[in-house]
Chains A and B, each alone.
Chain A
Amino acid sequence: MTQIFSDLIRELAVLFLSVVSALPAIIGYVAIILLFMLAWRVIRNRLTRAQDYTSLKTVTFGDESAVISDKSASVISVVLVFVIWGAFTGSGWLPGFLHAPGPFVGEAEFVYTVEEGNGARDDAAVTVIVHRTGEVPETPEVPPGDGFAKNDVLIVQAYRTKLLRWDANDEATRNDGAKIVAINGVPLTREADVDTGFGRVALTDKGTLNFEPGKGWQMEDIWLPAPDSVWRRLLSISREGYQNVTLAEHLSYSLFRVIVGFLLGALVGIPLGYAMGLSNWFRGWFDPIVEFMRPVPPLALIPLVIIWAGIGEQGKIILLFLAALWIMAIAARAGVSGVAISKVHAAYSLGASPLQIMRHVIVPNSLPEIFTGARVAMGVCWGTVVAAELVAAEKGVGKMIVAASKFQDTDVVLMGIILIGIIGFGIDMLMRRCERWLVPWKGRI
């Protein structure tokens, strides 16, 4: 127990340290937000002086109704995300001066000094060629130079390191007791690396050199690809597909599962909720089941569903059905319980039969709650389908991004995440549209 406790404390300390190290970035970001706010205020005041109700309020701080989402802030914030993303990935969409310093690429040279066992020293130059991922530069011919140390060529890919066996062509080798004592005239030891300005040179245990070209501030493609390469990837994948499955196929499989699972969940959940809302017996019967199942996250059911139904369509649809079922049942129950008794009484006094009351009072009265539940359920289903596909699937957006992550196709992973976000947002907007159209009285009673 104390072991667990101290482990957790250590984890917490590590977490705390990384938060602290992120502080400058966070503070910088907040500073940018405030800067833009002030700048926008100045610009807007120059442009117009609106006299609407809100702008005439003198008390705005603390008045919730005076707080309206500022569209300009939203636009700036989204643009800024892309600018920061582009700047730290060297995106072609941004003018070069906005780029963060990139990794060193090109040709450069450093000089190493070898000392023989007898104390004699000689210099030789190393021509370093740093190339981008995927390029294969030609190896240039360099004159060996004079003395017992001969010049070398070192070809490195950006963001990678490379060992230099400097004595491969030298007349004095490590076996003879020769060793490197300086780079560009700066002493080099096991402990002290030398910075050449375009990269670091380190001495290995075996006496060889390890060269690491300068990385700059930009992220490597496999960590974070540039927005334009994600976009290009989207275009090429939507044309050619990824791993023999088209993007449309991936997306339609995911959407198909969500829609079928959700519809089945609603089809069973809504009547179940109504039964629970209308009958003591059903309420008592299902309350323990629903109340127990509700807090179990659908993701926790994935292993069980895989055991029971395998990784085919059925398993995933069962999972989504379960994800939607409880939410819809609870929403329908709340909708029925929420009907004002005076409405039901009024309907009875007007001569309506129980069936008519069901059809004309209880069902319409529960629609707003059901729609709220449906929106939540759709969101949960969408999240669950992606997670289920991450675990086991042959097709689907989730499957696409795990497959891509195995091949380190980070651009596909990012594209998938963005698509998942856009589709989730689209589903919610669609549900809201339907809601406004079908239950216009919602929130106005």
Chain B
Amino acid sequence: MSGLEIQDVSMRFDLPNGGHVQALQNVSLSIKQGEIMSVLGPSGCGKTTLLNIVAGFLAPTEGEVVLNGHRVEGPDAERGMVFQQGALFEWMSVRDNVSFGPRMAGKRAAEWRENVDHLLDVVGLQDFKEKMVYELSGGMQQRVALARCLANDPDVILMDEPLGALDALTREKMQGLVLKLWKETGKTIILITHSVEEALLLGEHLLVMAPRPGRIHREYHLPFADLGVGKDLREIKKLPDFGERREEILGMIWDMEEEIMGRSEEAA
């Protein structure tokens, strides 16, 4: 059994004031090995919570996550994580950041040097190996984070708004890079985003979540990620199908937001 199974996961946070938040309710989902899935949804619908459960940082109150036939109990090198920002180690050079995983596994430099150098080439940072990470721009730092994750050769890569802090142009380039790496490495990727376009471009499998309680609203299987590999993503965005899907999902999220606003107005 390969792939990632999320089985009937619920997450309930008790609040100090005695109340509670149902961050996730009965979420079931299966992701095939080598699939890239993007997750969309209004703020607070439990996307990060879901990702943290898959990463093993949180234990669900109900249900379980199964990867390749075994239950997820905690964080592990088989599930790599790329954060929005600030998760690099400032006290290390770019190369030391990227080689962190292999080094912690006790591998000698000879074993990882070639792979690390190759990954730095792939993300276009060959000239910045010896630099400290605070000397890099935000986009370069995200590429380091990607390379660091890949250097550890995880089965699943989890990304929480990895491109959220980047400017539009850098972001577009990074989207191409993510697609390229996905195809080249064949990793299973889950990527959270707030951008509908990004979700469509990078989501072979697209999940739209709804809030209160956090749950799956719609699932799509889309061709754009496959089409986009190695291509100019702007061309993909011009496809009529792409436009339709975008409008449909935008409308869906818009309605959800309206409903949230309405509900909070009623409450007030």
Interface residues of A (CB under 8 A from B): 340, 342-343, 345-353, 356, 360-361, 364-365, 367, 439-441, 444-445
CA distance A360 to B90 in the complex (A): 11
Q: How far is the CB of A310 from chain B (nearest CB, A)?
A: 44
Q: For B55, B89, B105, B154, which residue has the most chain A Cβ atoms within 10 angstroms?
A: B89
Q: What is the predominant secondary structure among interface residues of chain B facing chain A? A: loop
Q: Is B3 an interface residue (CB 8 A)?
A: no
Q: Is B81 an interface residue (CB 8 A)?
A: yes
Q: Contacts A349-B55, A349-B77: A356 and B86 contacting too (C-beta < 8 A)?
A: no
B87–A340 CB distance below 8 A: yes
> B94-135: which have CB < 8 Å to A?
100-101, 104-105, 132, 134
CA distance A439 to B80 in the complex (A): 28
In this complex, what residue of A is CB-closest to B104?
A: A352
Q: Is B148 an interface residue (CB 8 A)?
A: yes
Counted as pairs of residues, one from A and one from B, with CB atoms less than 8 Å apart, the total is 74
Q: Contacts A349-B75, A349-B77, A360-B104: A445 and B134 contacting too (C-beta < 8 A)?
A: yes
Q: How far is the CB of B181 from chain A (nearest CB, A)?
A: 17
Q: Contacts A356-B104, A441-B90: A350 and B80 contacting too (C-beta < 8 A)?
A: yes
> B146-193: which have CB < 8 Å to A?
148-149, 152, 154, 158
A351–B105 CB distance below 8 A: yes
CA distance A360 to B80 in the complex (A): 18
In this complex, what residue of B is CB-closest to A440?
A: B132
Identify 26 residue pairs between A and B in the complex whose beta-carbon atoms are under 8 Å apart, listed by A's number.
A340-B86, A342-B87, A343-B88, A343-B89, A345-B55, A345-B75, A345-B81, A345-B83, A346-B87, A347-B100, A348-B74, A349-B75, A349-B77, A349-B81, A349-B149, A350-B77, A351-B101, A351-B105, A351-B152, A352-B100, A353-B104, A367-B91, A440-B132, A441-B90, A444-B134, A445-B90
Q: Is B76 an interface residue (CB 8 A)?
A: yes
In this complex, what residue of B is CB-closest to A359?
A: B104
CA distance A350 to B80 in the complex (A): 6
Q: What is the predominant secondary structure among interface residues of chain A facing chain B? A: helix
Q: What chain B residues lie within 8 Å of A343 (beta carbons)?
A: 86-89
B87–A351 CB distance below 8 A: no
In this complex, what residue of B is CB-closest to A442?
A: B90
A444–B104 CB distance below 8 A: no
B91–A364 CB distance below 8 A: yes
Q: Which 9 A-B pairs have the closest CB atoms?
A: A351-B77, A348-B75, A441-B90, A350-B101, A342-B87, A364-B91, A349-B81, A444-B134, A346-B87
CA distance A361 to B77 in the complex (A): 17
B87–A345 CB distance below 8 A: yes
Q: Is B13 an interface residue (CB 8 A)?
A: no
CA distance A440 to B93 in the complex (A): 12
Q: What chain A residues lie within 8 Å of B143 (beta carbons)?
A: none
Q: How far is the CB of A346 from chain B (nearest CB, A)?
A: 4
Q: For B74, B77, B100, B152, which residue has the most chain A Cβ atoms within 10 angstroms?
A: B100
CA distance A361 to B87 in the complex (A): 11
A349–B91 CB distance below 8 A: no
B100–A349 CB distance below 8 A: no
CA distance A395 to B149 in the complex (A): 59
A342–B101 CB distance below 8 A: no
In this complex, what residue of B is CB-closest to A350?
A: B101
Q: Is B79 an interface residue (CB 8 A)?
A: yes
CA distance A350 to B150 in the complex (A): 10
In this complex, what residue of A is CB-closest to B83?
A: A342
Further contacts, 9 of them, CB under 8 A, given A349-B75, A349-B158: A342-B83, A342-B87, A345-B55, A345-B87, A349-B80, A350-B100, A350-B101, A350-B149, A351-B104
Q: What chain A residues lie within 8 Å of B154 (beta carbons)?
A: 349
In this complex, what residue of B is CB-closest to A352?
A: B104
Q: For B74, B87, B88, which residue has the most chain A Cβ atoms within 10 angstroms?
A: B87
Q: What chain B residues lie within 8 Å of A361 (beta carbons)?
A: 89
Q: What chain B residues lie within 8 Å of A360 (beta carbons)?
A: 89, 100, 104
In this complex, what residue of B is CB-closest to A357?
A: B104
Q: Is B57 an interface residue (CB 8 A)?
A: yes
Q: What chain A residues lie within 8 Å of B90 (beta carbons)?
A: 441, 444-445
CA distance A439 to B132 in the complex (A): 12
A349–B76 CB distance below 8 A: yes
Q: What chain A residues lie within 8 Å of B158 (beta carbons)?
A: 349
Q: How far is the CB of A137 from chain B (nearest CB, A)?
A: 73
CA distance A361 to B100 in the complex (A): 11
Q: For A340, A360, A364, which residue has the most chain B Cβ atoms within 10 angstroms?
A: A360
Q: What chain A residues lie within 8 Å of B132 (beta carbons)?
A: 440-441
A346–B104 CB distance below 8 A: no
Q: For A340, A350, A440, which residue has the most chain B Cβ atoms within 10 angstroms?
A: A350
Q: How far is the CB of B91 from chain A (nearest CB, A)?
A: 4
Q: What chain B residues lie within 8 Å of A365 (beta carbons)?
A: 91
In this complex, what residue of A is CB-closest to B154?
A: A349
CA distance A187 to B238 in the complex (A): 113
B89–A350 CB distance below 8 A: no
